[in-house]
């Protein structure tokens, strides 16, 4: 477009960089909002209310584990996967003679996700072992903590199992 004095007027050029910066800021805000939502919905189950009491409890469990190991006691676990569960059999093994456990409790823990931990009491199988069916509602890695109580002592052992995904 020509002006009265003969010069040519230039159209105002729209610079793209302010729009790019604004888009990046909006995108960053959306990502931060998603992180905030995830943090609120999925609470961290690893945090304890009383760290001092938890430390004392851990120290006593470690000492009890040393006493049990000195006696030569240990736990064996056999796991057979089933549909969305695992059938477990826990047996107390010993270097010498060991009394039969009065009670065996198996605790399932999901290390990657909170809210799925649960304890199951196993029933005597008749051959000195304890058995039960433990549901594993999600595929992936699970921790099973077997705890056998013998004469006031507890033999504790952790095992890892992998739950298969849905059949394809």
Q: Which residue has the tokens 């099973």?
A: 144
* CATH code of the domain in which 116 resides: 2.60.40.1930
Distances (CA, A) of 50 to 4, 37, 54, 56, 57: 83, 26, 6, 10, 11
pLDDT digits (tens, 9 = 90+) for 153-162: 888 888 888 8
How far, in Å, CA of 127 to CA of 130, rounded?
8
Give pLDDT, residue 40: 86
**Phi, psi at 43, each rounded to 5°:** -70, 150
List the domain range (segments joined by +) for residue 117: 72-163
Do the strands 73-82 and 140-150 form a parallel or antiparallel pair, or are they unpaired? unpaired
> Is 139 inside any structural domain?
yes
Q: Check residue 168 and give its pLDDT.
A: 46
Residue ranges of the chain with per-residue pLDDT less than 50: 168
Which residues on adjacent β-strands are paired with residue 8? 2
Q: What is the pTM of this model?
A: 0.62
Other residues' Cβ atoms within 10 Å of the Cβ of residue 167:
5
User: Does any domain span residue 95?
Assistant: yes
| 93-124 exposure pattern, b = at least 16 Cβ within 10 A, e = fewer | eeeeebeebeebbbbbbbeeeeeeeeebebee
Question: Is residue 123 situated within a structural domain?
Answer: yes
Q: What is the dihedral of CA 131, 135, 138, 142, to 10 degrees?
A: -30
**pLDDT value of position 57:** 86
The predicted structure's pLDDT at residue 32: 97
Residue 118 lies in a domain: yes
130 within a domain of the structure (yes/no):
yes
Asked whether residue 127 is domain-assigned, the answer is yes
The number of distinct structural domains making up the chain is 1
Kindly state whether residue 14 falls inside one of the protein's structural domains: no
Residue 84 falls inside a structural domain: yes
């Amino acid at each position: 477009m020509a002006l009265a004095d003969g010069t040519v007027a230039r159209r105002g050029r729209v610079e793209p960089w302010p729009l790019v910066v604004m888009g990046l800021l909006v995108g960053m805000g959306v990502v931060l909002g998603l992180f905030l939502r995830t943090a609120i919905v999925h609470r961290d189950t690893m945090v304890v209310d009383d760290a001092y009491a938890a430390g004392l409890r851990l120290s006593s469990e470690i000492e009890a584990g040393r006493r049990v190991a000195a006696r030569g006691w240990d736990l064996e676990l056999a796991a057979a996967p089933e549909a969305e569960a695992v059938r477990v059999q826990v047996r107390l093994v010993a270097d010498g003679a060991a009394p039969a456990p009065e009670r065996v409790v198996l605790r399932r823990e999901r290390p990657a996700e909170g809210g799925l931990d649960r304890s199951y009491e196993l029933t005597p199988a008749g051959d000195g072992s304890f058995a039960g069916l433990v549901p594993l509602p999600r595929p992936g890695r699970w921790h099973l903590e077997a705890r056998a109580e013998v004469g006031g002592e507890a033999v504790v052992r952790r095992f890892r199992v992998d739950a298969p995904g849905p059949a394809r």
